[in-house]
Structure 1
Amino acid sequence: MRFVLRMIAVSLSAMAGVQAAECPRVVSQSPYLTIAIDWLGQAECIVGVSRDDSFKPALPRTGTPTAPDAKAIAALKPELVIGSASADAAVFAAAVPAGAQAVQLGGFTSMLELEGMLEDLARLVQSPEGGKVSGFRRGWFTRAKNTGARGERALLLTTCGGTPTVYGRRHVLGDLFHAAGFNVLEAEVGTRAEADVAGLIARSRPDIVFTIDRPGQSACTPVPAVKDVRIIPLDGEHFLYPGPRMLDGIEDLTRIMRTLKMP
């Protein structure tokens, strides 16, 4: 019996060694990528994150998503450095040490691009849970079609952290809300700064203004009350990081729309 238990222990140790060898040392240079890597079951692969990342507070910081710190990244001896496609490609490449793989991923322009990002990320971090991506693809679309939206004219805004931002159909948020059955205003827009929120509402005449901000943010612009326009806050933690948390956002939206009675 002792021999059998010892052989099991040796086998488990060997398996752990294989799994450790298959886990690349990853620097995640954007918070939405960190969340997705964690969701894919490879959080232990991450050795460093950007200063904007609040999800791995104990890990070393490696600059910001758009201004990576080459010295800090090199000190971590990464095998893989993953950043957002929105960062300048030359700046990003220059910050990645020789011998490490540099990859920039998207996810902000559409739900289709987001699905592709998750697939690429699963492959890059050698995720044992890559099948989750297929479930995400089926899950978000099915849930979105059942939010209870009925073609309401929707304006999507972040109002905190500086100048308000509008999200249109050419952004992943606009694409998601469109799939959920809303008539998303600003159809030709990805994102756009908008200082005159009152003027925007007067021009676009939405049925609903969704304000999508993270809790605890400051410098928030108040949205003026307008007759027959509903102002509905949504948790930015569930919408502003392209990836699996959007499933929670769809559930939030569904709860709201099922109880909302439009005039």
Structure 2
Amino acid sequence: METGIIAIVKASTQMTIVDDLGRTVTIRSSERIVSIGPSCTETLYALGLGNRIIGVDRYSDYPPEVIQKRKISNWWNPDPEEVAALNPDVVFYSVGNPTAVEALEKAGLTVVALRPKTINDIFKNIKLVGKITGKIEEAESLVSALSRRIDDIKARVGNTTVKPKVYMETWYPPPWTWGPGSWGHQIIELAGGVNVFGDAKTAYVKTTDEEVIARNPDIIISLTGAMHYASLDDFRKRPGWSVIKAVAEGRVYMLDENLFVRPGPRIVDGLEALARILHPELFGEANVFTFPILSAELSVKMQTFSIPSPMIIDICVIKAATDSTLTVILTKSGPTIPANLRLIGEYVDLRCSVPEGFASILRIHYSEDLLKTVGVREDSLKIYRWSEEEKRWIALNTAVNKEERFVEATIIGGSYFAVMGEPTPTLLEIPIPLWLLIVSVVVVAALTGACVHIAHVRSGKRL
């Protein structure tokens, strides 16, 4: 019997399935659900089952409304009595510790163990959860939508001849990464890259600094979140790592680990983010930047992210509903600029993977030469936000720092943003103050009178 596939339907409210550990499980009801594992929780919510969830593990933090749910204290080794006290009909467990499943089962709990290895396995799990909970159509629709997005990525990168070598770090020290047979390896290949550890003997690779240096990746993806954090500066500080091409060229990208390590619907978000980094030219984007937002850090301070070029931009994140990913795309194309304004630099397409509750300060730097080239008055500079609902640009309350030459504004949520200003007026368009006009008239009249007087004097002398 194939794992993850419905085997026998005994009644309309009862069925028998085989889970990812090969266990035969009889499901009698799914009205009260405990979800142990963030990927299980995200799958359940994606199928519209949030109202049936009565408890989750403490790592489940997406979508934001799950934060209010009752928390199970331990994911790796959940306390059977703690779970049983919630009186669930079924427990979905994203298996970290297989022996924990046996302990939960001995407590009289109905447990469905999910342990996918590939993207196809993830999709099978979504369908299995949908079948168990009576959300068959929703599960089929979700998998179809995710599959179409993957097909779009494959179509874009399918004919590319340049495939960068990628090292994706999930833990340090020592370095851990993905090997063949894992969904992480699949994501790298689907995104149009070559996994530098694609020849490893295991799906999850514990390696060494020396081995990563020897494989010399073109791009490093640093998965960042509760388990791991490493910026470009951190990689530069590691002994010997500065010679790696990705580090030397600054091609180290920090991505939200939850989009890669959680085998649920958002795995395709991770694929799309990676594909845009590896092949921005295929998406009509010249510059794509991604940053992980950590809600724990925001509780004590702002998180600041900087883009050094082609535009110098600082983004100070004030708040976010949960851990999420900030994507910033600098592009020359965007909504049409109003006729009375001129664009400074490029459009800034700023998006948060969890837009609810996201707020930040957007600071965009400019130069005097740029203003002269474009022909814009410095005191007219403002940051504008594109309103998709109203189909127009809206000026934000903008501060202009002329000494350090930047503009900044507080923004809520994401959209297109742009710095615009009014054209520098020509000499004929410059308004003349009244007092200056009067003085000018008097001076001109006096000069005219003087000239006439001199002319009369000279003509008298000739006579």
TM-score where L is the length of structure 1 = 0.77
Partner Cα distance (1:186, 1:69) in 2: 37
Structure possessing the higher radius of gyration over alpha carbons: 2
Query: Where does 1:82-93 land on structure 2 (aligned, <5 Å)?
Result: 82-88=92-98, 90-93=99-102
What is the aligned partner in structure 2 of residue 28 from structure 1? 35
Query: Where does 1:195-234 land on structure 2 (aligned, <5 Å)?
Result: 196-197=208-209, 199-214=210-225, 220=230, 222-223=234-235, 224-226=241-243, 228-229=245-246, 230-234=251-255
Tell whether the 8 Å contact from 1:146 to 1:254 is kept in structure 2 after alignment.
no
**Do the aligned partners of residues 80 and 238 (structure 1) sit closer, same or farther apart at CA in structure 2, a change above 3 Å counting?**
same
Partner Cα distance (1:218, 1:100) in 2: 33
Tell whether the 8 Å contact from 1:31 to 1:54 is kept in structure 2 after alignment.
yes
Determine helix, strand or coil for the equivalent of 1:206.
coil
- The answer to whether structure 1 residue 129 and structure 2 residue 142 are counterparts is no
Deviation at 1:227, TM superposition (A): 5.1
Query: Where does 1:1-263 land on structure 2 (aligned, <5 Å)?
Result: 24-55=31-62, 56-88=66-98, 90-96=99-105, 100-107=109-116, 109-127=117-135, 129-131=138-140, 132-146=142-156, 150-159=162-171, 163-187=174-198, 188=200, 189-194=202-207, 196-197=208-209, 199-214=210-225, 220=230, 222-223=234-235, 224-226=241-243, 228-229=245-246, 230-256=251-277, 257-258=279-280, 259=286
**Do the aligned partners of residues 251 and 173 (structure 1) sit closer, same or farther apart at CA in structure 2, a change above 3 Å counting?**
same
Tell whether the 8 Å contact from 2:80 to 2:107 is kept in structure 1 after alignment.
no
Tell whether the 8 Å contact from 1:169 to 1:185 is kept in structure 2 after alignment.
no
Deviation at 1:134, TM superposition (A): 2.2
Partner Cα distance (1:145, 1:217) in 2: 33
**Do the aligned partners of residues 135 and 184 (structure 1) sit closer, same or farther apart at CA in structure 2, a change above 3 Å counting?**
same
Q: What stretches of structure 1 of length at least 5 have no aligned partner? A: 1-21
Q: What stretches of structure 2 of length at least 5 have no aligned partner? A: 1-28, 236-240, 281-285, 288-463
**Do the aligned partners of residues 218 and 82 (structure 1) sit closer, same or farther apart at CA in structure 2, a change above 3 Å counting?**
closer
What is the aligned partner in structure 1 of residue 334 from structure 2? none
Deviation at 1:145, TM superposition (A): 4.3
Map Cα deviations across residues 90-137 of structure 1 (whole Å, 9 max, x no partner). Answer: 421322476542110122x21111111111121122225122122222
Partner Cα distance (2:148, 2:106) in 1: 38
Partner Cα distance (1:255, 1:118) in 2: 26
Residue identity matched to 2:101: F
Q: How many residues align?
A: 235
**Do the aligned partners of residues 237 and 165 (structure 1) sit closer, same or farther apart at CA in structure 2, a change above 3 Å counting?**
same
Deviation at 1:66, TM superposition (A): 1.9
Residue identity matched to 1:168: G
Tell whether the 8 Å contact from 2:189 to 2:195 is kept in structure 1 after alignment.
yes
Residue identity matched to 1:140: I
Which structure carries more helix by proportion? Answer: 1
What is the aligned partner in structure 1 of residue 14 from structure 2? none
Partner Cα distance (1:138, 1:147) in 2: 14
Partner Cα distance (1:30, 1:118) in 2: 14
Partner Cα distance (2:220, 2:227) in 1: 19
Deviation at 1:29, TM superposition (A): 0.7
Determine helix, strand or coil for the equivalent of 1:166.
strand
Tell whether the 8 Å contact from 1:25 to 1:80 is kept in structure 2 after alignment.
yes
Tell whether the 8 Å contact from 1:156 to 1:211 is kept in structure 2 after alignment.
yes
Tell whether the 8 Å contact from 1:159 to 1:220 is kept in structure 2 after alignment.
no
Deviation at 1:219, TM superposition (A): 6.3
Tell whether the 8 Å contact from 1:96 to 1:102 is kept in structure 2 after alignment.
yes
Q: What fraction of aligned residue pairs are identical, expressed as a percent?
A: 22
Tell whether the 8 Å contact from 2:169 to 2:221 is kept in structure 1 after alignment.
yes
Map Cα deviations across residues 144-170 of structure 1 (whole Å, 9 max, x no partner). Answer: 44258632211111246x644211222
